[in-house]
């Protein structure tokens, strides 16, 4: 979702004040965990405590992105993060702590909530991280279905 830096700052402010923000999803990069028109609740987080597999909300190059954390490393005393959409074939560019707005708490789909820390959700994240070919199969499926 395209957003100006001032809007990303406003979203960060809402999370800092209320502790969370609910945002509608756009796109298919996190399918099937997050589908088009789901509502995602993001909460504040400490970047140094983020773990591989969590879904982060970040602002990069004018885009508001919710993707899975795949790697976290320290470079010259600063922690940098790399994320990837579950159905994306390529990784996102590295992001800094300042780019991170929050992390996913749950996805609301119709009347059902999918908790990000639920066992099935964690198993899905582990599967996507452990079997990179899964992204290719998911992308093929989405293209075939026209989603």
Domain at 64, CATH number:
2.10.109.10
Query: pLDDT above 90 covers what percent of the chain?
Result: 90
Angle (CA) 96-100-102 rounded to 5° is: 155
Range of the domain at 60: 5-145
pLDDT at res. 52: 96
Residues of the chain with pLDDT under 50: none
pLDDT at res. 32: 96
Domains in the chain, number: 1
Helix (H, G, I), strand (E, B) or coil at 6: helix
């Amino acid at each position: 979702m395209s957003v100006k830096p001032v809007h990303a700052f406003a979203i960060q402010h809402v999370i800092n004040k209320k502790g969370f923000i609910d945002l509608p999803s756009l796109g298919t990069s996190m399918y099937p965990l997050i589908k088009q028109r789901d509502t995602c609740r993001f909460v504040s987080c400490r970047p140094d405590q983020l773990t591989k597999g969590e879904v982060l909300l970040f602002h990069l190059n004018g885009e508001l992105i919710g993707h899975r954390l795949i790697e976290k490393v320290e470079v010259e005393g600063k922690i940098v993060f790399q994320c990837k959409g579950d159905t994306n074939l390529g990784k996102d560019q590295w992001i800094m702590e300042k780019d991170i707005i929050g992390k996913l708490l749950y996805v609301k789909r119709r009347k059902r909530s999918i908790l990000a820390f639920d066992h099935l959700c964690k198993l899905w994240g582990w599967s996507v991280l452990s079997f990179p070919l899964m992204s290719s199969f998911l992308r093929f499926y989405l293209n075939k279905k026209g989603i």
